[in-house]
Amino acid sequence: RDAGYRCWLRYEQIRDEKLLEEYRTWCASVVFRPGTPVLCSAKEELIGAIKSLLAVEVALSASPNRDKFIMVGKIGSHSVIDCETGGIEAERLGSQGFVVKTVKKPEYQFILIAAGSDQGILYGVFHFLRLLQMQREIGNLNIHEAPVNPLRMIDHWDNLDGTVERGYAGKSIFYEQNHLRDTGHRIRDYARLLASLGINAVVINNVNVHREETGLIRGRLSMVVKMAGIFRNYGMKVFLSINFAAPIELGDFATADPLDGEVKEWWRKQVQEIYRRIPDFGGFLVKADSEHRPGPFTYHRNHAEGANMLAEVLKPFGGLLIWRCFVYNCTQDWRDQTTDRAKAAYDNFQPLDDLFQENVILQIKNGPMDFQVREPVSPLFGGMERTNQMIELQITQEYTGQQRHLCYLVPQWKEILDFDTYARGEGSTVKKIVSGGLFQRKNAGFAGVANIGDDPNWTGHDLAQANLYGFGRLAWNPDLTAAELAEEWIRMSFSNDQTVIDAISSMLHTSWQIYESYTAPLGIGWMVNPNYHYGPNVDGYEYSRWGTYHRADSKGIGIDRTVKSGTGFAGQYQAKNALMYESSASCPEELLLFFHHVPYFQRLKSGETVIQHIYNTHFDGVEKVTELKEKWLQLQNLIGDERFARVLARLDEQLEHAKEWRDVINSYFYRKTGIPDELGRKIF
């Protein structure tokens, strides 16, 4: 097995003799009576991990028979457990929280892992194993945890033919030639990885639902049944992306009008059959009227009418209907300077606030454009108080180096989650909106577009595993810091050696800004090769129909999105933010070109002009990649497996490619403006 395969569940044997002894005294005896599949998964994980970490045989029993042990069980299942958890209100733990606690009695001492549900126990076990892997003290534990976000979902853009849209780590681990791959063990290992983070929902097919995938709700339902079986054992519900025009495409109807009674009846029948075979089915995810996907617009119905029809059908079964807000005009004329893609989601959905059913959740991309290296937060967060919302983040690195460049995205996500929308005054952060807390909504949460494939190490770039890890942990608790998450991930995936932790942490922490510095400047985005979205092409999207322009000429660059003289996008925010973005003096500099068209000679706070900033950051970015590589080289003898060489190869590629970015961008602006670099460096 490839050293990258186990990710953060390596369970590498602990070398420190003292620690080993200490851990063994607690862990060699486990009291656990697993009665359900989820509890069996928890037991297997716990026993397997202890054996591997501590090289010890584990005695499993139904009741205490030693003076030190681990006790796992549901609150209400054992008098010893109840005696210790009596004071904890069920409310505090919720339906998925847990307790991990060291209990010291005169007769015996034990570590208790308890919860009100099977899922909670599974999460508690993984939490405990994280402590062991990180070599933490376990003699005085008193941990209570409950997830902040109700829905913690991974979205797969996998197609049945085995391709993965925007996948950079090989083929789908699920499908091949329209069948399930014979890799039940791999899907199970994937489920373990996700469960260890607290993920509780998985969308198993691409939001672009093509012909074959349309049949997943009917002819191919048995595939879904099998997948649901694997994920269920790890506490996850399976969701399907559906084709809004399925009533037509599966051959029965001439219309998919959501207000047509027969169409609704048709959906009801499909849903009934799905729930007959998968009683805990999660629900549907829908990309409608977006990038040529069908939707309610065809029938002059709005998104609420489209979503509610499906929601009503799912409701009796407890299903959710997740509706994406990625709706914009993808056939824009580039000459048209009044249409603004950034405004589209808000324009389409904000007027519908209050019209959606209770089991509908709007899934909103973090920014108003599309997962660029830098964007403002979508103004829909904080703009719809009476509608369930969840945030969609892109773990797969479509626009952030495609897992060939190092780009740790957690710092970016933290900025987004901590952004204050001011919807209910100060402190109305995005994280409080998507947790459901701010507007008291129970259906809310996180979705992340998966970055894994069938590469031996799951993510292509070994260090890209940190993004999946960070996403899942933030979905559990968005208050965790980027530094804490990096450290956890490094300790578990690589080593507890401080040199390794320091070096990789510093690489991760600087990587997003490094990537930003040699790609599109000051929040303008894009400048990539069309379709693939890899590699520099400043005008790649400039004269296209996708609404993604930079409007550079010989004098200036940027989009005027102000209310006063531009597209008016800035006005979609609550007053305080709208004002901040409206003026180029108060607009955060990293977003300057997103909101303003400015002359190249405009000065930034640093004193440098915009054009000089472009040159400087691009030269500097390449230098910084060299430093990344140097940091990694220091670890040669500390990471003794194929991961070392593999990451090194990616860093070499990144370095070459960063030079390409630097030279293409700098040459473009030098030629466009004729303004030389003040430092006289080589520009082509």
For tokens 């400047």, what's the residue? 521
Please tell me whether residue 157 binds ligand GCW under the rule CB under 6 A.
yes
When the beta carbons of 42 and 153 are compared against ligand GCW, the nearer one is: 153
Q: Which one among 52, 77, 208, 329 touches ligand GCW, defined by CB under 6 A?
A: 208
When the beta carbons of 32 and 526 are compared against ligand GCW, the nearer one is: 526
Range 356-415, binding ligand GCW (CB under 6 A): 370-371, 398
Active-site residue, selected from the candidate residues 118, 145, 370, 677: 370
DSSP assignments along 76-105, one per residue: TS-HHHHHHHTTS-HHHHTTT-EEEEEEE-
**Residue 354 gets which letter from DSSP?**
T
When the beta carbons of 121 and 407 are compared against ligand GCW, the nearer one is: 407
Please tell me whether residue 207 binds ligand GCW under the rule CB under 6 A.
yes
When the beta carbons of 137 and 347 are compared against ligand GCW, the nearer one is: 347
Report the relative pairing of strands 142-145 and 109-115 from DSSP bridges: unpaired
Ranked by CB distance to ligand GCW, the top (closest) residue is: 370
Residues 211 and 268: their CA atoms lie apart, in Å, by 21
Burial 30-65 (b: 16+ CB within 10 A, else e): bbbebeeebbebbbebbbebbbbbbeeebeeeeebe
Cα 664 to its chain centre, rounded Å, is 31
Question: By rule CB under 6 A, what string of x and - marks binding of each residue 159-188 to ligand GCW?
Answer: ------xx----------------------
Helix (H/G/I), strand (E/B), else coil: 394: strand
CB of 214 to ligand GCW, least distance (A): 15
Around Cβ 300, how many Cβ atoms within 10 Å? Answer: 9
Could you tell me how many residues of this chain bind ligand GCW (CB under 6 A)? 11
Around Cβ 306, how many Cβ atoms within 10 Å? Answer: 26
When the beta carbons of 371 and 526 are compared against ligand GCW, the nearer one is: 371
Closest CA to 232 of 204, 271, 269: 204
CB of 140 to ligand GCW, least distance (A): 47
CB of 328 to ligand GCW, least distance (A): 10
CA-based radius of gyration for the chain: 26
CB of 44 to ligand GCW, least distance (A): 35
CB of 329 to ligand GCW, least distance (A): 14
When the beta carbons of 326 and 661 are compared against ligand GCW, the nearer one is: 326
Active-site residue, selected from the candidate residues 252, 265, 273, 291: 291
Please tell me whether residue 339 binds ligand GCW under the rule CB under 6 A.
no
When the beta carbons of 210 and 551 are compared against ligand GCW, the nearer one is: 210
CB of 187 to ligand GCW, least distance (A): 21
CB of 209 to ligand GCW, least distance (A): 10
Which contiguous run of DSSP H or E holds residue 241?
Answer: strand 237-242
What the block records as the tokens of 135 is 């070599």
Provide the H-helix boundaries in 233-359. 246-249, 261-277, 303-314, 341-349
Please tell me whether residue 260 binds ligand GCW under the rule CB under 6 A.
no
C-alpha to C-alpha distances, 563 to 381, 550, 581, 586, 593, nearest whole angstrom = 19, 18, 10, 15, 15
Residues 524 and 663: their CA atoms lie apart, in Å, by 18
Helix (H/G/I), strand (E/B), else coil: 599: strand
Cα angle: 663, vertex 667, 668; to 5 degrees: 120
Q: Is 370 labeled as catalytic in the residue annotation?
A: yes
Residues 6+ apart with CB under 8 A from 415: none
CB of 293 to ligand GCW, least distance (A): 8
Closest CA to 240 of 185, 314, 335: 314
Report the relative pairing of strands 445-449 and 237-242 from DSSP bridges: unpaired
Active-site residue, selected from the candidate residues 398, 455, 487, 516: 398
When the beta carbons of 157 and 266 are compared against ligand GCW, the nearer one is: 157
CB of 370 to ligand GCW, least distance (A): 5
What the block records as the tokens of 68 is 């030190």
When the beta carbons of 457 and 548 are compared against ligand GCW, the nearer one is: 548
Give yes or no for a contact between 174 and 227, defined as CB atoms under 8 angstroms apart.
yes
Question: By rule CB under 6 A, what string of x and - marks binding of each residue 263-302 to ligand GCW?
Answer: ------------------------x---x-----------
Q: Which one among 326, 469, 581, 594 touches ligand GCW, defined by CB under 6 A?
A: 326
Closest CA to 446 of 154, 190, 232: 154
Residues within the interface to ligand GCW (CB under 6 A): 157, 165-166, 207-208, 287, 291, 326, 370-371, 398
Catalytic residues: 291, 370, 398
